């Protein structure tokens, strides 16, 4: 249940819809995106006014209006029903906070200031997002596929761990961002060979490389990308 359809409410709704949640909304005003989601039936609009009975059947509640008194009312009614409630105006008065987060495929990075400064959490999240670009989606997908391949070889646990550790230490994200496929393949082969054949590694790398949405941008260091 989300109360408030402005900019803050939109952020909450985007997060919830992205995770497959069923969202109900009470809001006096809505952003254009929120209106579109309601019109398409993605979000169930239940009216302008919040009523305590709207909390029935809810699992999570988000008091996301600019009206502090209304948010407190939503939080108090949620507390009576033993429902988790996130408050936009006074995070400490709610029962849970939502970290500022972003995703790079299977990688999720979240930043929390324990509700003390959501604005600062957002600033830190933006900096981290610049450091961890889309190449990390490829990197983690490749590591997951490589892990399964290595484990299928029946090697000693210590050898598996050595391979995983050494490959993880490689600057693969930087090579991927630069489009240095040959350098990446040579380095991984040097760690895995002769236990895993060159053809197997080439096939694996090519498959993940093609599936990634990365092009081959000019080479840039993480620090340089963070300044853009």
CB 164 within 8 A of CB 192: no
Three-state DSSP class for residue 3:
strand
CB 192: neighbour CB atoms within 10 A? 20
Report pTM: 0.69
Each residue's pLDDT, cut to its tens digit, for the chain (228 residues) gives 999 999 999 999 999 999 999 999 999 999 999 999 999 999 999 999 999 999 999 999 999 999 999 999 999 999 999 999 999 888 888 999 888 888 898 899 999 988 788 889 999 999 999 999 989 999 999 999 999 999 999 999 999 999 999 999 999 999 988 888 889 999 999 999 888 888 999 999 888 887 765 544 444 444 334 433
Domain ranges of the chain: 2-98, 99-132, 135-211
Domain 2-98 has CATH 3.40.50.261: no
CB 86 within 8 A of CB 60: yes
Q: Rounded distance, CA 125 to CA 35, Å?
A: 27
Measured torsion, CA atoms of residues 52, 55, 60, 63, in degrees rounded to the nearest 10: -30
């Amino acid at each position: 249940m989300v109360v408030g359809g402005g900019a803050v409410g939109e952020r909450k709704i985007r997060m919830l819809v992205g995770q497959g949640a069923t969202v109900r909304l009470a809001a006096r005003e809505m952003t254009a995106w929120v209106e579109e989601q309601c019109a398409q039936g993605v979000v169930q609009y239940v009216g302008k006014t919040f009523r305590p009975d709207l909390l029935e059947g809810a699992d999570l509640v988000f008091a996301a209006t600019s009206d502090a008194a209304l948010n407190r009312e939503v939080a108090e009614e949620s507390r009576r029903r033993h429902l988790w409630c996130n408050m936009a105006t006074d995070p400490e008065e709610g029962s849970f906070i939502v970290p500022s987060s972003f995703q790079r495929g299977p990688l999720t990075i979240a930043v929390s200031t324990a509700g003390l400064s959501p604005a600062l959490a957002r600033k830190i999240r933006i900096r981290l997002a610049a450091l961890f670009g889309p190449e990390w989606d490829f990197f983690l997908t490749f590591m997951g596929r490589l892990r399964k391949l290595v484990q299928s070889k029946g090697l000693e646990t210590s050898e598996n761990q050595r391979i995983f550790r050494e490959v993880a230490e490689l600057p693969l994200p930087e090579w991927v961002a630069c489009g240095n496929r040959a350098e990446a393949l040579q380095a991984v082969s040097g760690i895995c060979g002769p236990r895993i054949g060159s053809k197997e590694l080439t096939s694996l790398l090519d498959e993940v490389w093609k599936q990634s949405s990365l092009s081959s941008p000019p080479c840039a260091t993480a620090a340089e990308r963070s300044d853009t």
